[in-house]
C-alpha cells in the first residue's frame, strides 16, 4: 500500500512540547 501505516498522532507530537511539562515549575 502506498499509504503510511503508522503516522504519529499530531496531538502526541504536540504533547512533546517541553512547555506542556509543568514539572519544571518544581525544580529548585
Partner 1 sequence: MGCYHSKRTKETPGYEEPTVLAAETPFTVSEVEALYELFKKLSSSVIDDGLIHKEELQLALFRNKNRRNLFADRIFDLFDVKRNGVIEFGEFVRSLGVFHPNAPVEDKIHFTFRLYDLRQTGFIEREELKEMVLAILHESDLLLSDDVVETIVDKTFSDADLKGDGKIDPEEWKEFVSKNPSLIKNMTLPYLKDITLAFPSFVLSTEVEDS
Q: Is 1 in the site for partner 1 (CB under 8 A)?
A: no
Distance CA 25, CA 5 (A): 38
Q: Is 12 in the site for partner 1 (CB under 8 A)?
A: yes
Q: Is 2 in the site for partner 1 (CB under 8 A)?
A: no
Q: Is 8 in the site for partner 1 (CB under 8 A)?
A: yes
What is the closest distance, in whole angstroms, from the C-beta atom of residue 1 to partner 1 in the complex? Answer: 14
Q: Are 17 and 23 in contact (CB under 8 A)?
A: no
To 10 degrees, the CA torsion angle through 5, 10, 11, 15?
110
Binding site for partner 1 (CB under 8 A): 4, 7-26
Amino acid at each position: 500500500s502506498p499509504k503510511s501505516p503508522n503516522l504519529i498522532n499530531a496531538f502526541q507530537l504536540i504533547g512533546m512540547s517541553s512547555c506542556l511539562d509543568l514539572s519544571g515549575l518544581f525544580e529548585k
